């Protein structure tokens, strides 16, 4: 526990006080840089009704480098691979220290509403999304039901 | 904002594995019929052993993943393949291989996410229960590997899935092992698995009340091994004590930081200069990592000139990089960079027998790999501009590299891979192998620490301090440290401080 940057303290406090609708991000009890995240599947998307668990880690040089985020719940999405890794520009070369944990999570939620099969991470998923979108959406709904709903 | 950017290499579709014409080999137990045997288990087992060999010699983290690892990932893409991989791993990873536990972590971490049912199948497949645990000493390798695997799964699936995996039977199985009557290596990893399950709060409460329902709290018994001379039991004691201080608190038990005697200690591992997941003993002289990341720490004492010596007593024999660093060395734990991985630090890794400087390894010849109980001596001589490493008193390497960048501001420092532990002697005790060819000094004779600085608070208390701290208004909107006094031309954005802008 190297001295925690004030920026992280401030962001954490704000996330607790003014949570983002549809997103919960709670710091781990033993690690102030590790957050348990749950994103609800956006309405009118194939992920609606699902609760998706993610992990978010703030590296040592945050906010100078981006948070590391990955899905822990399996998801059928052209920009998210089988290991849960996410393809999102702001997590890579488009990162800016003016962005925050909340903006990152909002972007991920937006990615669920608007999959981008032209820039895929999961090739087979993207391929189906392009040639047969309705089947891809059916698969995404099926995976959401199987892996992202508690029953 | 946020557009998809898959320019980075997406994993290529891999070539299908050679399908084996041979009939599947027998595994230890007959699996339930729903587990199909897609790939010959012998093939998977040999890939695992190959990966273990490669991991032991692989030094460049930029290298492509070893081929065996890639093949194993392909196998694990199907749910039945994932299950097969787990069962094979549990069967073959040897107890005495220092990479074994780490290899299980690596394999599971880099495999596709398993579905909850798949993980539940693992538990059913092994018939985890108290009864099974009671028979456990029969095959310590398998039982130890099951415990390691459960811990990795708990860590990977933190949240509702981790709760689903910690069934009554799983809990019975793990808790039964928390007793000195079982093989130490199983006890250790059963305890670590319970710690990892407790990352999910719901599980923590379940485990805590379960432990308290036992007549004699098992962790209070195991805690007494913290000073054991048997190096595996010592780890058990360390983990039990850490868990009692940090995770499974007992009403009425005094926390170890309040009882530990630190009067003679004037230099220790710095609890304010350590990466998140490293665990420090309450006297600040022992550190352990159980997380799948490369965790680092610096000592409290800063060296500017002179000849200084300290010793690390190895409790485990896996990958650790122990040596010297400055404030400029960064702890990039999640990327696998630590001490010796930049130009401001140098270290020795006696598992792979490499001196590390600037993330480049230099092989040390004719020296055995280190083993538990060995003593690594680290000497820094600013006059001769030399860093010397000794193993049990024998000089094994000398390097001048770090003096290219640094003249002063050195700290003893170390990095730890998963499941590694080391004890440090900064001069509080007699050195086992003091250097004989030059006069040296030790930190403990010159260090000064206040009572507060010597306190290693449990993380929970430290986190509470953070939550309650306040951040003033009118400060930099990027770092929240400096005053937000600057304006950026030409966009006229305000509110950042001068440090951030520079």
Residue B451 lies in a domain: yes
Check CB contact under 8 Å for B2 and A108: yes
Report the number of distinct structural domains present in chain B. Answer: 3
Residue A102 has pLDDT above 70, yes or no: yes
The tokens of A30 are what? 């033993």
pTM for the whole structure: 0.85
> What's the mean pLDDT in B250-279?
94
- What's the pLDDT at B5? 42
Residue A118 has pLDDT above 60, yes or no: yes
Residues B355 and B436 in one domain: yes
Between CA A56 and CA A32 the distance in angstroms is: 11
Residue B25 lies in a domain: no
Residue B21 lies in a domain: no
- What's the pLDDT at B368? 93
- What's the pLDDT at A47? 96
Residue B254 lies in a domain: no
Which member of A25, A37, A80, A87 is catalytic? A87
Q: Do the bridges between strand B286-289 and strand A51-57 make them parallel or antiparallel, or are there none, so unpaired?
A: unpaired
Residues B290 and B193 in one domain: no
Residues B50 and B188 in one domain: yes
Between CA A69 and CA A90 the distance in angstroms is: 11
Q: Which tens digits make up the pLDDT trace of B300-355?
A: 999 999 999 999 999 999 999 999 999 998 888 878 889 999 999 999 999 999 99
Residues B378 and B477 in one domain: no
- What's the pLDDT at B69? 84
Residues B351 and B492 in one domain: no
Using alpha carbons, select from B454, B117, B442, B156 the residue that is nearest to residue B282: B454
For residues B137 and B418, the model is more confident at B418
Residue B29 has pLDDT above 60, yes or no: no
Residue B436 has pLDDT above 70, yes or no: yes
Residue B9 lies in a domain: no
Residues B314 and B342 in one domain: yes
Residues B327 and B364 in one domain: yes
- Residue range of the domain that includes B489: 471-501
The residues pairing with B332 across neighbouring beta strands, listed in sequence order, are B337
Using alpha carbons, select from B127, B48, B132, B61 the residue that is nearest to residue B93: B48
Using alpha carbons, select from B261, B288, B274 the residue that is nearest to residue B428: B261
Q: What is the CATH number of the domain that holds B411?
A: 2.60.120.920
Using alpha carbons, select from B163, B154, B171, B153 the residue that is nearest to residue B209: B171
Residue A106 has pLDDT above 80, yes or no: yes
Q: Which of B249, B281, B301 is the last residue of a domain?
A: B249
Between CA B436 and CA A118 the distance in angstroms is: 67
Q: What are phi and psi of A55, to 5 degrees?
A: -120, 145
Q: What is the DSSP string of A32-85?
A: TTEEEEEEEPPTTSTTTT-EEEEEEE--TTTTSSPPEEEE-S---BTTB-TT-B
Residues B150 and B236 in one domain: yes
- What's the pLDDT at A2? 55
- What's the pLDDT at B476? 77
Query: What's the mean pLDDT when you consider all of chain A?
Result: 90
> What's the mean pLDDT in B236-265?
95
Between CA A114 and CA A108 the distance in angstroms is: 10
What percentage of residues in chain B have a pLDDT greater than 70?
Answer: 88
Rounded to two decimals, the ipTM of the complex is 0.75
Residues B326 and B369 in one domain: yes
Terminal Cα-to-Cα distance of chain A (whole angstroms): 38
Q: For residue A108, which residues of chain B lie inside 8 Å, CB to CB?
A: 2
Residue B140 lies in a domain: yes
- What's the pLDDT at B110? 82
Do B136 and B143 touch, CB atoms closer than 8 A? yes
Residue B7 lies in a domain: no
- What's the pLDDT at B19? 34
Residues B337 and B442 in one domain: yes
Cα torsion through B394, B399, B403, B408, rounded to 10: -20
Residue B490 has pLDDT above 70, yes or no: no
**From B4, B459, B466, residue closest to A119, measured CB to CB:** B4
At residue B13 the predicted structure's pLDDT band, cuts being 50, 70 and 90, is very low
> What's the mean pLDDT in B53-67?
69
Helix ranges (DSSP H) in B214-260: 218-222, 231-246, 256-259
A98: closest CA of chain B, how far (Å): 6
Q: Do the bridges between strand B360-363 and strand B375-381 make them parallel or antiparallel, or are there none, so unpaired?
A: unpaired
Q: How many CB atoms lie within 10 A of CB B468?
A: 9
Q: What is the CATH number of the domain that holds B219?
A: 1.25.40
- What's the pLDDT at B334? 78
- The answer to whether A94 faces chain B, any CB pair under 8 Å, is yes
Q: Which tens digits make up the pLDDT trace of B203-227?
A: 999 999 999 999 999 999 999 999 9
- What's the pLDDT at B33? 38
The tokens of B262 are what? 């630190």
- What's the pLDDT at B99? 87
Do B56 and B319 touch, CB atoms closer than 8 A? no
The CA distances from residue B76 to B39, B110, B116, in Å, are 10, 10, 14
Residues B336 and B438 in one domain: yes
- What's the pLDDT at B428? 97
- The answer to whether B25 faces chain A, any CB pair under 8 Å, is no
- Domains plus CATH for chain A? 6-148 (3.10.110.10)
Q: Which of B249, B282, B314 is the last residue of a domain?
A: B249
Residue A3 has pLDDT above 70, yes or no: no
- What's the pLDDT at B233? 98
Between CA B61 and CA B116 the distance in angstroms is: 31
Residue B22 lies in a domain: no
**From A30, A32, A88, residue closest to B4, measured CB to CB:** A88
Sign for the pseudo-dihedral over CA of B196, B60, A35, B328:
positive
- Annotated active-site residue A87? The verdict is yes
Between CA B412 and CA B346 the distance in angstroms is: 10
Residues B279 and B244 in one domain: no
Q: Which of B184, B217, B249 is the last residue of a domain?
A: B249
């Amino acid at each position: 526990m190297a001295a925690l940057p004030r920026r992280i303290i401030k962001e954490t406090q704000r996330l607790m006080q003014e949570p983002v609708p549809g997103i919960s991000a709670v710091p781990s009890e033993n690690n102030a840089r590790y957050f348990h995240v749950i994103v609800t599947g956006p309405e009118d998307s194939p992920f609606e009704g699902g609760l998706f668990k993610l992990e978010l880690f703030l590296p040592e040089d945050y906010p100078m480098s981006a948070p590391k985020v990955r899905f822990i719940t399996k998801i059928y999405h052209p920009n998210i691979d089988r290991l849960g890794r996410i393809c999102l520009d702001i997590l890579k070369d488009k990162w800016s220290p003016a962005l925050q944990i909340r903006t990152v999570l909002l972007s991920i939620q937006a990615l669920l509403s608007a999959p981008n099969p032209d820039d895929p991470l999961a090739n087979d998923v993207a391929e189906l999304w392009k040639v047969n979108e309705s089947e891809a959406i059916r698969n995404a709904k099926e995976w959401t039901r199987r892996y992202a709903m508690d029953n | 904002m946020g557009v998809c950017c898959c320019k980075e290499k997406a994993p290529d579709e891999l070539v299908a594995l050679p399908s084996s014409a041979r009939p599947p080999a027998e595994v230890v137990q007959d699996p339930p019929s729903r587990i199909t045997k897609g790939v010959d288990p012998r093939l998977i087992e040999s890939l695992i052993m190959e990966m273990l060999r490669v991991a032991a010699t692989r030094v460049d983290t930029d290298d492509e993943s070893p081929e065996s690892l890639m093949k194993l990932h392909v196998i694990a893409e199907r749910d039945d393949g994932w299950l097969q991989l787990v069962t094979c791993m549990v069967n073959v990873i040897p107890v005495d291989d220092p990479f074994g536990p780490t290899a299980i972590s690596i394999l599971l971490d880099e495999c596709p996410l398993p579905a909850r049912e798949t993980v539940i199948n693992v538990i059913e497949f092994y018939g985890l229960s108290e009864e099974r645990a009671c028979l456990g000493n029969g095959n310590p390798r398998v039982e130890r590997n099951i415990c390691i695997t459960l811990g990795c799964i708990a860590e990977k699936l933190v949240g509702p899935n981790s709760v689903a995996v910690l069934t009554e039977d799983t809990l019975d199985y793990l808790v039964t092992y928390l007793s000195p009557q079982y093989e130490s290596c199983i006890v250790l990893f059963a305890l670590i698995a319970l710690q990892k399950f407790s990352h999910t709060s719901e599980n923590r409460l379940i485990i805590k009340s379960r432990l308290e329902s036992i007549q004699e709290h098992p962790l209070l018994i195991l805690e007494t091994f913290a000073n054991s001379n048997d190096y595996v039991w010592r780890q058990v004691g360390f983990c039990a004590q850490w868990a009692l201080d940090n995770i499974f608190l007992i009403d009425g038990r005094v926390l170890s930081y309040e009882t530990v005697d630190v009067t003679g200690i004037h230099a220790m591992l710095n609890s304010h200069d350590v990466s998140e997941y490293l665990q420090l003993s309450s006297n600040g002289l022992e550190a352990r990592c159980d997380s799948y990341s490369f965790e680092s720490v610096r000592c409290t004492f800063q060296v500017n000139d002179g000849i200084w010596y300290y010793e690390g007593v190895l409790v485990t024999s896996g990958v650790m990089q122990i040596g010297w660093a400055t404030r400029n060395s960064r702890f990039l734990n999640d990327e696998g960079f630590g001490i010796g991985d930049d130009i401001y630090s140098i270290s020795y890794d006696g598992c792979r027998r490499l001196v590390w400087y600037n993330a480049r390894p230099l092989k040390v010849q004719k020296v055995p790999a280190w083993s538990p109980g060995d003593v690594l001596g680290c000497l820094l001589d600013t006059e001769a501009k030399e860093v010397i490493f000794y193993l049990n008193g024998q000089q094994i390497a000398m390097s001048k590299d770090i003096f290219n960048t640094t003249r002063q501001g050195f700290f003893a420092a170390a990095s730890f891979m998963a499941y590694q532990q080391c004890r440090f002697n900064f001069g509080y005790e007699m050195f086992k192998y003091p250097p004989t060819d030059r006069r040296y000094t030790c930190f403990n004779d010159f260090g000064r620490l206040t009572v507060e600085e010597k306190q290693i608070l449990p993380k929970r208390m430290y986190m509470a301090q953070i939550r309650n701290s306040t951040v003033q208004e009118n400060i930099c909107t990027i770092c929240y440290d400096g005053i937000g006094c600057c304006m950026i031309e030409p966009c006229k954005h305000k509110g950042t401080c001068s440090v951030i802008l520079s």
